[in-house]
């Protein structure tokens, strides 16, 4: 191996190790506080651990139903096992999410090695380790990013499979991704044909193997399909969907197929806007730091290299295979196409666009594409290892500085810091009723603080909250700002 390659490989490995160790750094304090959806997830899991129920005291649910949306079994049960051993602190929950992301990296490395060898696997892991797209999601307590574990391993088993049981397992894991996050249900259905076609070209795929994979997915998905058919999991989609007649007509747009199509194309396009991809990223500071785009500097190098290699054959009139073979081109186009398909569910909604979480199923395909460009370039030019290692190190230093020094102050308003301070003040003063009244419309928030600050069990917190509902009903029609900060002694 060339000296540039040896030094570059060592630097790449160092960046990967450092980035993933620091993924566990200051989990309790960065970000500081907890967002409402994080509280909901923690309450669901803690209730499952202590009571064997969800927060509404339903025993061992398939989906834990909360105000912020159903919590899937693919999240709550693994998280419950984690909390049983490591406790229910914010830091523990976030360490669980960081560990889940390490499983994503392991799956990506295994997939990369099975496709083009260990060098490709290492480039892919490097791109994923420092990706701004997934960095924040690996450190917040959302159930949605866990879907990446199931998606990546489902695809990895698809390309690794030689025995039929591995195809069956691939189907089960892809079904797990569909349970974990609603946008991946549509994405996986759309992506299955191009992925199966790629598998057929690269490793062969018989009709029977395809049937086994689909059988595993269908069997595992039957309970999910029944809940969707009953309408139990669709309320959030209809609330945000561009198929909403009220949404389009609120802009003076007559509802119809053409209007929906135009809205879809517009929404799809904003997810590939240059400022979103390269400079500013998602403006939701829970999802991103607001400093970087969706892609890192190493993504620029990898995608740029792939574009140059693909175009060079035509520019210099070299025969196909001099830079990229037909199989390489097909592989690259399939990855790009699957990335685009991951954006389709986000484009069918109208809130918070462009939305990096609803399109997060595209992140594995983006890093696979980046890694492929770097892998092919490094085979032709050994210095790519060294330049890639230095560039990734510089980018991660910039990401580290932004995330751990600038982001905590910038994101304070997104993680309910004031609510935490009010809850702690209520505990110190032993005056909870004003706090409960102020947040009486946010019962998951209240239940979280009753369990965490007051030390109540899940059942006791829920029963206390239910007992206070008649009191809250007497406040109907009163503005929150007019609620007294204290109550007469008889009401305490």
Torsion of CA 255, 260, 266, 267, to 10 degrees: 110
Structure tokens at 376: 């092919």
Q: How far apart, in whole angstroms, are the C-alpha atoms of residue 434 and residue 427? A: 12
Confidence (pLDDT) at 314: 62
Length of the chain: 492
Its pTM surpasses 0.95 = no
Sequence-distant (6+) residues with CB within 8 A of 405 are none
Asked whether the CA dihedral 180, 109, 199, 271 is positive or negative, the reply is positive
Query: Given the structure tokens 């309320």, which residue do they identify?
Result: 235
pLDDT of residue 49: 96
pLDDT for residue 489:
36
> Residue 287: is it exposed, middle or buried by C-beta count within 10 angstroms (0-12/13-18/19+)?
buried
| pLDDT value at residue 322 | 59
Instruction: Return the pLDDT at 69.
Output: 77
Give pLDDT, residue 111.
Answer: 97
What is the residue-averaged pLDDT of the chain? 89
pLDDT digits (tens, 9 = 90+) for 189-245: 999 999 999 999 988 999 999 999 999 999 999 999 999 998 888 888 888 899 987
Q: Measure the CA dihedral 45/49/51/53, to 10°.
A: 40
- Determine the 3-state secondary structure of 435 from DSSP: helix
In this prediction, the residues of the chain whose per-residue pLDDT falls under 70 are 1, 66-68, 313-322, 475-492
Q: Which long-range contacts (CB under 8 A, 24 or more apart) does 394-401 make?
A: 394/297, 395/130, 395/296, 395/297, 395/298, 396/15, 396/18, 396/19, 396/130, 398/292, 399/130, 399/132, 399/135, 399/289, 399/292, 399/296, 400/22
Token pair belonging to 3: 């000296």
């Amino acid at each position: 191996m060339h000296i540039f390659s040896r030094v570059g490989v060592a630097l790449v490995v160092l960046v990967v190790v450092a980035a993933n160790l620091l993924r566990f750094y200051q989990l309790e304090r960065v970000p500081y506080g907890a967002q409402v959806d994080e509280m909901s997830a923690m309450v669901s899991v803690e209730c499952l651990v202590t009571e064997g129920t969800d927060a509404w005291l339903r025993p061992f649910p398939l989906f834990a139903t909360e105000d912020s949306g159903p919590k899937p079994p693919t999240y709550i049960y693994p998280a419950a096992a984690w909390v049983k051993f490591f406790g229910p602190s914010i830091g523990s929950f976030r360490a669980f999410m960081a560990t889940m992301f390490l499983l994503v990296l392991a799956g990506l490395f295994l997939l990369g090695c099975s496709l083009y060898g260990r060098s490709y696997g290492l480039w892919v892991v490097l791109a994923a380790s420092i990706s701004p797209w997934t960095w924040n999601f690996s450190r917040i307590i959302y159930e949605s990013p866990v879907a990446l574990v199931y998606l990546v391993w489902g695809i990895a088993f698809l390309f690794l499979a030689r025995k039929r049981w591995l195809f069956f397992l691939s189907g089960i894991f892809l079904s797990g991704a569909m349970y974990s996050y609603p946008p991946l249900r549509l994405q996986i259905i759309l992506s299955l044909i191009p992925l199966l076609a790629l598998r057929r070209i690269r490793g062969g795929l018989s009709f029977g193997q395809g049937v086994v994979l689909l059988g595993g997915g269908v069997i595992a998905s039957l309970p999910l399909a029944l809940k969707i058919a009953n309408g139990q999991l669709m309320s959030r989609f209809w609330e945000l969907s561009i198929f909403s007649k009220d949404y389009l007509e609120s802009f003076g747009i007559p509802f119809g197929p053409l209007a929906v199509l135009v809205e879809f194309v517009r929404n799809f396009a904003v997810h590939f806007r240059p400022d979103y991809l390269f400079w500013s990223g998602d403006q939701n500071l829970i999802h991103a730091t607001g400093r970087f785009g969706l892609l890192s500097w190493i993504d620029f190098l990898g995608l740029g290299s792939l574009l140059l290699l693909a175009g060079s054959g035509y520019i210099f009139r070299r025969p196909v295979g001099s830079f990229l073979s037909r199989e390489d081109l097909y592989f690259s186009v399939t990855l790009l196409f699957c990335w685009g398909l991951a954006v389709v569910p986000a484009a069918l909604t109208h809130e918070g666009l462009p939305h990096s979480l609803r399109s997060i199923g595209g992140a594995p395909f983006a890093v696979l594409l980046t890694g492929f460009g770097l892998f092919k370039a490094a085979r032709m030019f050994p210095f790519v290892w060294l330049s890639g290692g230095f560039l990734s190190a510089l980018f991660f230093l910039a990401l580290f500085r932004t995330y751990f020094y600038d982001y905590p102050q910038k994101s304070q308003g997104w993680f309910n810091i004031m609510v935490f301070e009010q809850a702690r003040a209520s505990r110190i003063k032993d005056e909870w009723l004003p706090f409960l009244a102020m947040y009486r419309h946010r019962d998951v928030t209240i239940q979280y603080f009753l369990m965490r600050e007051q030390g109540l069990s899940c059942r006791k917190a829920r029963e206390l909250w239910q007992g206070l509902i008649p009191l809250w009903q007497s406040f109907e029609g009163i503005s929150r700002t007019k609620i007294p900060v204290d109550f007469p002694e008889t009401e305490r």
